[in-house]
């Protein structure tokens, strides 16, 4: 008879911020089963199919035996996640598929109860396991994957410090169907959750470093393609801000834009991004590798368009880079920050006269107004990324997207679907009549040199 060894006897607890983690115990069964049962509908879209007896005590005992063997074999380490304040179980996390030798890698997976989501518990738990992987297991690399539509999981991974590394078709069988996945990785020496694995104390707060980083050009554009849904050819590239941080590596805009906004640095960064993007487009045009009419699109918050002389800035940049009209596009964030529509209209009309084209970005994000479409001088409208993702399976989202195409046709402007990350989303956008599409399913954001090489063919 095989004795049931409690995994908790094999390894201690991990602590991080507001949670602690420990291996599952036999005494956890009732709380674990209740939490999983309560969240079946919330969890099943993102997990492999549950066995019919999954929440029974005999199945749980088998699970514990497997966990114990995995830890003895150093193949996987499972943990339950508990809230530090009251000891409530909130979810689970594991690192599995451990490989030694020349690889030294493992893969993280986690789940969280719906009422505990978006409270930072998942981020703390994943952070704790990443530190455990590097500091205790001495791994070199940790990997993770999530379905493209799982925005919550993607945000958790990126905030912990994982970097998006690829897109895999039919990667895992989830809820009975083979699903595409985004692939993420973090390596020893990368920044974990805002602190370095090796040299945490050497990192200054982002607020202290941002002004100099913007001034010195260390925040630079990476270009994501926007393609024609009729021909597949590139219509333009959106310039997405990336910070080449000397200690934290390449940081995405989500990491530092809140700091930019709090510090009032948005207008300065927007001008820097416009200048750098125009310079790249000039290089492509001089090399005669740029298709006719190819544009670069730069984001600017609706609240920042009146913070500097936008028309004059555009005129100077176009003159310096010798760019034709319309090849510098401004993507105005669709938000209620545009309080004065008349003032915004006057500024944007001046920008168009100076040779810029104008797109309304993130339309359908939750605070959209048809007034903006009808009163602002626009050349294009871009749907919110989440709307495009949901439209593949949500009839209501599809109805909104069809309405956007219809309105764009009536106004004589382009309609661009953002968030096109799967073949199904690409086909749907084409069938609906969108002019252009953008998303990870088409291409990720790359440095100007990489775009140049691609345009050269």
C-alpha 307/C-alpha 199 separation (Å) is 38
Provide the annotated active-site residues.
Answer: 418
Q: Count Cβ atoms within 10 A of the Cβ of residue 381 and give its class: 0-12 exposed, 13-18 middle, 19 or more buried.
A: buried
Residue 236: enclosing H or E segment and its boundaries? strand 234-245
C-alpha 217/C-alpha 215 separation (Å) is 6
Beta-bridged to residue 181, according to DSSP, are 168
Q: Count Cβ atoms within 10 A of the Cβ of residue 144 and give its class: 0-12 exposed, 13-18 middle, 19 or more buried.
A: buried
Beta-bridged to residue 142, according to DSSP, are 106, 186
HEC letters along 101-155: CCCCEEEEEEEECHHHCCCCHHHHHHHHHHHHHHHCCCCCEEEEEECCCCHHHHH
R_g over Cα of the chain: 24
Structure tokens at 2: 């095989």
C-alpha 365/C-alpha 378 separation (Å) is 18
Q: What is the DSSP letter of 77?
A: E
């Amino acid at each position: 008879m095989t004795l049931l060894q409690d995994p908790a006897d094999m390894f201690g607890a991990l602590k991080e911020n507001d949670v602690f983690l420990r291996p599952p115990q036999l005494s956890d069964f009732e709380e674990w089963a209740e939490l999983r049962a309560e969240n079946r509908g919330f969890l099943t879209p993102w997990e492999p199919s549950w066995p019919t007896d999954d929440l029974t005590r005999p199945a749980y005992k088998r699970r514990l035996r497997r966990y114990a063997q995995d830890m003895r074999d150093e193949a996987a380490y499972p943990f339950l996640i508990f809230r530090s304040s009251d000891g409530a179980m909130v979810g689970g996390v594991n690192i599995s598929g451990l490989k030694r030798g020349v690889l030294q890698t493992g893969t993280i997976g986690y789940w969280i109860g719906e009422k505990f989501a978006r409270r930072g518990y998942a981020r703390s738990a994943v952070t704790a396991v990443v530190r455990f992987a590097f500091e205790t297991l001495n791994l070199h690399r940790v990997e993770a994957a999530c379905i493209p539509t799982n925005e919550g999981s993607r945000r958790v991974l990126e905030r912990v410090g994982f970097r998006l590394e690829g897109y895999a078709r039919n990667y895992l069988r989830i809820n009975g169907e083979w699903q595409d996945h985004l692939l993420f990785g973090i390596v020893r020496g990368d920044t974990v959750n805002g602190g370095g694995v090796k040299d945490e104390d050497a990192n200054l707060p982002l607020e202290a470093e941002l002004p100099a980083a913007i001034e010195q050009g260390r925040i630079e554009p990476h270009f994501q393609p926007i393609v024609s849904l009729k021909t597949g050819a590139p219509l333009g590239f959106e310039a997405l801000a990336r910070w080449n941080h000397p200690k934290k590596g390449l940081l995405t805009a989500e990491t530092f834009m809140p700091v930019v906004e709090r510090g009032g640095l948005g207008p300065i960064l927007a001008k820097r991004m416009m200048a750098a993007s125009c310079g790249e487009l000039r290089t492509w045009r001089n090399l005669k590798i740029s298709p006719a009419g190819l544009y670069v699109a730069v984001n600017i918050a609706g609240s920042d368009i009146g913070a500097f002389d936008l028309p004059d800035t555009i005129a100077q940049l176009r003159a310096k880079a010798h760019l034709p009209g319309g090849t510098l596009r401004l993507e105005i964030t669709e938000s209620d920050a545009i309080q004065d529509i008349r003032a915004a209209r006057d500024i944007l009309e001046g920008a168009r006269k100076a040779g810029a084209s104008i797109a309304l970005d993130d339309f359908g994000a939750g605070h959209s107004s048809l007034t903006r479409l009808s009163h602002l001088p626009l050349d294009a409208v871009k749907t919110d990324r989440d709307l495009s993702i949901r439209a593949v399976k949500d009839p209501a989202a599809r109805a909104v997207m069809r309405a956007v195409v219809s309105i764009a046709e009536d106004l004589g402007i382009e309609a661009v679907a953002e968030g096109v990350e799967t073949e199904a989303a690409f086909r749907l956008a084409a069938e609906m009549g969108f002019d252009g599409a953008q998303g990870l399913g088409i291409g990720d954001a790359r440095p100007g040199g990489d775009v140049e090489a691609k345009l050269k063919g």
